[in-house]
Structure formats: structure tokens, C-alpha cells
Amino acid sequence: MDREKVEDVLNQIRPGLQADGGDVELVDVEDDGTVKVRLTGACAGCPMSTMTLKSGIERVLKENLSEVKEVINVN
């Protein structure tokens, strides 16, 4: 999976996160389709961060990149 393609999709998502005081940082892209990200800013401590990660970031990445199997947040 191409790290640059993942970053391009994250750049589409980023303005929505930044509007709420948060952001997402790409940590790693693994061969098995796992994308590791770090939620930062307001997203880091938000009780809705799991929903943001799965229903937002993961869903959009999977829609745009069929290679993505899972998105996980790392600290």
C-alpha cells in the first residue's frame, strides 16, 4: 500500500478534524493493510475519538483505498 495515497486521503479528512481543534497524523502503513494513525489536539482526549477513527477516518480510507483493512490509533 502506498503511504502517499494514504496521506492524500487523510488530507481530505483533515480540515474537518481541524475545524474541531484536532488533527490526524499518519504513523505507519503496514503490508497487511493496517494503517496506524495518531489523533492529536482535541481529538486525542475526546470521548468520541473511537467513533471518529472507525466511522470517519477508517470508512473514508476504505472507500478510497481498497487495500486498507483496518485503521488503529497509536499513542
The predicted pLDDT at position 72 comes to 96
% of the chain with per-residue pLDDT over 90: 89
- Residue span of the structural domain in which 51 resides: 3-73
Q: Is the pTM of this model over 0.85?
A: yes
**For the residues 56-67, what does the mean pLDDT come to?**
96
Return d(Cα 67, Cα 50) in angstroms, integer: 21
Q: 26 - beta bridge partners?
A: 37
Q: What is the CATH classification number for the domain harbouring 60?
A: 3.30.300.130
Q: Is residue 42 within 8 Å of 21, Cβ to Cβ?
A: yes
